[in-house]
Structure 1
Amino acid sequence: MRVKICGITNLEDALDAIQAGASALGFVFYEKSPRYIEPFEARKIVDKLPPFIQTVGLFVNESTNYINQVCTNAKMQIAQIIDDDNYTELESLEIKYIEVIRAKNKNDLLNIDDKYYLVDAFVESFGGAGKRVALDWFDEVDCSKIVLAGGLTYENIKELKGYNFFAIDVSSGVEASKGKKDKDKMIKFIKASNEI
C-alpha cells in the first residue's frame, strides 16, 4: 500500500518518514494550519531528500498563480488541491495535481469522474483533525483511484482491507504533537499498511 505522510515541517520527520517506508511527503501551504511551512523552508527539506520520494504541496482555496509559484519555490511535484470556493483554474496549473473531495456524506462519492482523487472527511479546519470517513460510504465505489485520508492510525487501517484504495494519507495519526511526527507511530503505520 502506498503511503503519504502529510504535514511535514522539519527534516528529521521527513527522513524518519522515508526510513519508515513512506512513498510521498506532504507539505501544508495553508497558513492557518498548525502544520504550515513556508515554501523556501520546505525547499530546504526537499533539497536533502533521497531520490524516488514524491513531494506534495497542500493548498486550500488558492489562485492558480499562487500554487504554480509555491510549487516552483518549494520544489513540489504534485499539488493537492482543496478548492471549495472555485479559486483555482485547474487547467492552468503547471504541475500535476490531485483534487480533494471533502466528503460530508455518501452522495459526495457517487458518480465521481474516472480520475484520481484524495477523499478526506469534511472538517471546518481543512484536515488534520483526525476525523474519519465512514467506510460503508465506499461499499459500491471503485476505490482503485482513491487516496483515502482522515482519521487513519496504525490501529484502524486494517479495516481498509478489501477496499483496494490506491493509497492512504496520514497526518495527525502519526504525530507526537501538531506539526511534529512520532517515529514509532510512522513505523507502525506503514508496517500495518503493508498488511492490507
Structure 2
Amino acid sequence: MRIKICGITNLEDALDAINAGADALGFVFYEKSPRYIEVKKAKEIVDKLPPFIQTVGLFVNESSKHINDICHLTNMQLAQIIDDEDNTEFDNLNIKYIEVIRANCKEDLEDLDENYYLVDAFVEGFGGAGKRVALEWFKDVDCSKLILAGGLTASNLKELKGYNFYGIDVSSGVEASKGKKDKEKMKEFVKAANEI
C-alpha cells in the first residue's frame, strides 16, 4: 500500500517522513490552509529530497495555467486537484494529476471511471480536518485505484484491512500541531499501514 504524507512545510518533516517510509510527500498550495507552503520554500525542500520519492502539489479550484506554473517552478511530479468550481481545464494540464472526490455519501463513489482517485471526507474547508469517510460506503466498490484520506491515524488503519485501497494519505493524523509533523507518529503510521 502506498503512503503519502501531506502538508509538508519544512525540510526536517520531509526527511523524517521519508525515513519513516513514506512513498510520497504532499505540498499544499492553497493559501487558506494552515499547511500552505510558498513556492520558493517548496522548491528548496524538493531540491534536497532523495530519489524515488514522489512530490505532490495540492490545489483547490485553480486554473490549469496556475497549476502548470506552480508545478513547473517547484518540480512537483503530480498534481492533486480539488475542482468543486470547475476552474481546472484538465486537458490543458502539462502534469500528471489525480482528482479528489470529496465524498458526502455512498453515491459519490459510484460509476467511477478507470482513473485513480483520492477520496476524502467532505468538509466545509479543504482537507486536514481529520474527518473520516464512512467505510461502509466502499462495500462492493473496487478500491484498487482509490487512495483514502481523511481522519486516518495509526490506531484506526487496521479497519481498512480487506478493502484493498491503492494507497492512503495522512496529514493531521501525524501532526504535532497544524503544519508541523510528529516524527514518532509518522513512524507508527507507516508501521501500521504496512501491517494491513
Q: Give, as a single letter, the amino acid of the residue that structure 1 aligns with 2:48.
A: K
Q: Deviations over 1:19-56 (max 9, x none)?
A: 00000000000000000001111000000000000000
Q: Give, as a single letter, the amino acid of the residue that structure 1 aligns with 2:60.
A: V
Question: Are 2:90 and 1:101 aligned?
Answer: no
Q: Deviations over 1:116-172 (max 9, x none)?
A: 000000011111000000000000100000000000000000100000000000000
In structure 1, the gaps of 5 or more residues are: none
**Under a length normalisation based on structure 1, what TM-score does the superposition of the two structures give?**
1.00
Give the alignment's Cα RMSD to 1 decimal: 0.4
Name the residue aligned to 2:79. 79
3-state SS in 2 of match to 1:52: coil
Name the residue aligned to 2:179. 179
Name the residue aligned to 1:16. 16
Give 1:22-33 correspondences, 5 Å limit.
Answer: 22-33=22-33
Same amino acid, percent of matched pairs: 75
Name the residue aligned to 1:134. 134
The count of residues paired between Structure 1 and Structure 2 equals 196
Give 1:45-194 correspondences, 5 Å limit.
Answer: 45-194=45-194
Aligned partners of 1:40 and 1:100: how far apart in 2? 25
In structure 2, the gaps of 5 or more residues are: none
Q: Deviations over 1:92-126 (max 9, x none)?
A: 10000000000000000011111100000001111
Q: Deviations over 1:52-91 (max 9, x none)?
A: 0000000000000000000011110000000000000001
Aligned partners of 1:41 and 1:194: how far apart in 2? 31
Aligned partners of 1:144 and 1:108: how far apart in 2? 17
Aligned partners of 1:12 and 1:146: how far apart in 2? 29
Q: Give, as a single letter, the amino acid of the residue that structure 2 aligns with 1:123.
A: V
Q: Give, as a single letter, the amino acid of the residue that structure 2 aligns with 1:167.
A: G
Q: Give, as a single letter, the amino acid of the residue that structure 1 aligns with 2:116.
A: Y
3-state SS in 2 of match to 1:59: strand
Q: Give, as a single letter, the amino acid of the residue that structure 1 aligns with 2:34.
A: P
Return structure 1 stretches of 4+ with deviation > 2 angstroms: none
Aligned partners of 2:147 and 2:46: how far apart in 1? 22
